[in-house]
Structure 1
Amino acid sequence: MKFSVCSTLFALIAVVSAQVAPSSGKNEVIRQRDDRVKRSLETKRSLKSCYSKATLTMYWIPKEGDKDMLNNGKTVTLSGSKNKKLKTTSGSTIAKVSKTTYEKFQMEGTGLLKNGVMVNLDSGNDTFMKVNRKKSPYGLGSEENNRLVPWISVASNDLRKGTKLYIKQLDGLKLPDGKKHNGCVRVDDEGWSFSGCQLDFFVLQFSAYKKLDDMIPNKVTVQQKDCKILDYVTSSVKKWAVL
């Protein structure tokens, strides 16, 4: 119904503007006014009702040598004998890693080596590609030209990429690097392990997940909103990311 009202409103504005035939200066004023009305209506469009109590999970980039978590919840260190090869589709070897590290990189679809090389699953589940870290320093989103941003990017399977969202429960949250979140996030990715009415929050590090796990509820209130995206990356975050 809202879409129908919006269409009618814009059609009426167009008809009135055509009948009045104002000067070019007035035309510009009307155009700017119409743009503001349109943006306001788009901002107020509601999400599906289930987003009033959406599921929020978290994901991160596993890093060689760091502690991490297996699917069964067991905490492990991504180290050990380097007997598994990270291979490209052409068969060349990017690096050798431990079995635990290899499997974690597979599960998350991406991984960071100690030397700063970031890999991403390429074709299938057993070939990798190097990530261009000048373009995507913290990893790739759902598309190659869509980069991830720590504590900003969320994955969704039923919302349009680039959509900005306000999550009430994140507003005022103190992040591990000391900065406070304003609740504004953006859809930059999609997930394979869940369906709709769920967001997967990109928190960059397993250590960040551990700190935030008890601070963020499993169910959150989500609104589509033209909110302000902030920068939460600090020098310590860049150091961890080998940037």
Structure 2
Amino acid sequence: MKMLSAKFKNSVYFISLSALVTALTACGNLSAEISSTSPSVFQQQQKQEQQQQQQDQTQNEFLETMPLHDLGASEYQAFAEMEEPDALDEWFQAQQPSSEQTPKDEPTAEPKSTDSNPKVPTKPTEPEHQVAESGVIKPTVYYFPVFNEDKKLCDKDEVRTLHGTSGEKIINVCPSTLNSCGLQGSCAVIQKGVRRSFNISDRIRGQDRYFEMTNTECRYGYGVRSACLDPFYTVAADLDIYKPGDVIYVPAAVGLKLPDGTTHNGYFIVRDQGRGINGKGRFDFYSGFLSWRDSQNPFRKLRFEDMKTQVPYAKIIGAKAEQVLKSRAYPKLPMPPLK
């Protein structure tokens, strides 16, 4: 019985050893097969990764070295259609100072100052941008037209009535004058040497109703909720998406020279709405008495008169937005600078 048991153990040992040798041989063959084919696969994968890294590096260098306000419409479109939907948000966030605090060194005793003059307080820092929305604008420009009808722009039998808030007749004007007043929202008409200004109050059954502007509180016209139109700092927007008082930042407008000699800071305030101003990023920029056709209109330098022009924007909230509203005396007009 013991001899049989020993033979059985030896047989099991021999079978196990044979199985192990067979398995090792199979692994060796598999390893050899993988080794013979893997270099080309790995090399191809490595080449693809290097090409992707090079493309990413080229794209990053392009965005980092070329300021957005120097890009053309095609580059703006390409930037807006980047694969990552938050690319614009990331760009605006990159413009903000980092809020991360660096580790502080161990406090050291400051040497006592021998200067008898008190320290001048440092200038308060600008509030950081808080971006609630970003995208690409679709711009147009509107203005406050003035029509001199003493030049007989139309015949008497062609005149049309400009109606008051109750539908009453206020004044008869030429058809082109009436159409433009309705399109721009406000206008001035000169007849017999007298200039009168009008602003739309409502539209009832397809008929525009106006009121006459008899005070100088909003000398450039009224927007929504009795807000004064502030030339070059006002936008009309879709009030189903934006609300009056929203602050819109357009980096391309920073440094734009305005007719009064000042430069724009890039911030606009939603003070108005308009016909055909629908959708996210659709803004109508107000230019006061300067027509969008006038070569002196600064918005023409940015091609804002063309809705195909696309530049980035952001809706700003928080302390910075409050600062902008205060600086432009929203909803009224800022006081003229002292001379």
- TM (normalized to structure 2)? 0.46
Tell me how far apart the structure 1 counterparts of residues 218 and 146 of structure 2 sit (CA, whole Å).
16
Partner of residue 222 from structure 1, selected from 313, 316, 336: 313
| Letter of the 1:147 counterpart | C
Distance in 2 (CA, whole Å) between partners of 1:183 and 1:116 is 34
1:176-197 Cα distance to aligned partner (Å, 9 max, x none): 3433212122111122203221
Shift of 1:213: 4.9
CA distance in structure 1 between the aligned counterparts of 2:301 and 2:265, rounded to whole angstroms:
15
User: Residue 294 of structure 2 aligns with which residue?
Assistant: 210
Matching of residue 99 in structure 1 with residue 181 in structure 2: no
| In structure 2, distance between residues paired with 1:232 and 1:210 | 26
Q: Equivalent residue for 1:188?
A: 271
Higher relative contact order (CA 8 A, sep 6+): 1
Cα 1:159/1:201, change in 2 over 3 Å: same
Deviations for 1:105-158, whole angstroms, at most 9, x for unmatched residues? 122232112334221233422432213533321111122x21111111111212
Which residue of the partner structure matches residue 151 of structure 1? 232
In the TM superposition, what whole-angstrom CA distance separates every residue of 1:60-114 from its partner, at most 9, and x where no partner exists? 1221139xxxxxxxxxx99333522212244543222111111111222321123
Evaluate the alpha carbon distance shift between residue 151 and residue 78 of structure 1 in structure 2; reply closer, same or farther with a 3 A threshold.
farther
Decide which structure has the larger Cα Rg and report it: 2
Gap change, CA 1:94 and 1:204, over 3 Å in 2? same
What's the secondary structure of 2:145's corresponding residue?
Answer: coil
When the two chains are superposed, the root-mean-square deviation of aligned CA atoms in Å is: 3.1
In the TM superposition, 1:80-91 aligns within 5 A as 80-81=154-155, 83-91=159-167
Matched position secondary structure for 1:95: strand
Between stretches 216-225 and 165-174, larger displacement belongs to 216-225
Mapped partners of 2:260, 2:282: distance in 1:
25
Instruction: Check the 8 A contact 1:156/1:190 in 2, yes or no.
Output: yes
Instruction: For residues 180-218 of structure 1, give each alpha carbon's deviation from its aligned partner in whole angstroms, at most 9, with x where no partner exists.
Output: 212122111122203221221110134465333541142
* Letter of the structure 1 residue corresponding to residue 153 of structure 2: S
Higher helix share: 2
Q: Structure 2: give runs of 5+ residues left out of the alignment.
A: 1-126, 304-308, 329-333
Question: How far apart in 2 are the matches of 1:63 and 1:146?
Answer: 21
**Cα distance in 1 between the residues matched to 2:284 and 2:208:** 24
Match of 1:119 among 195, 198, 214: 198
1:126/1:80 CA distance change after superposition, 3 Å? same
Which one of the candidate residues 23, 48, 51 is aligned to 2:133?
Answer: 48
Distance in 2 (CA, whole Å) between partners of 1:91 and 1:189 is 23
Cα distance change of structure 1 residues 189 and 89 upon mapping to structure 2, 3 Å threshold: closer
Structure 1: tracts of 5 or more residues without a match: 1-39, 67-76, 235-243
Q: C-alpha separation between the residues in 2 aligned to 1:92 and 1:203? A: 30
Higher mean alpha-carbon deviation, 165-174 vs 201-210, is at 201-210
Percent identity over the alignment? 24
Q: Letter of the 2:143 partner, please give it.
A: W
> Residue 188 of structure 1: SS of its match in structure 2?
strand
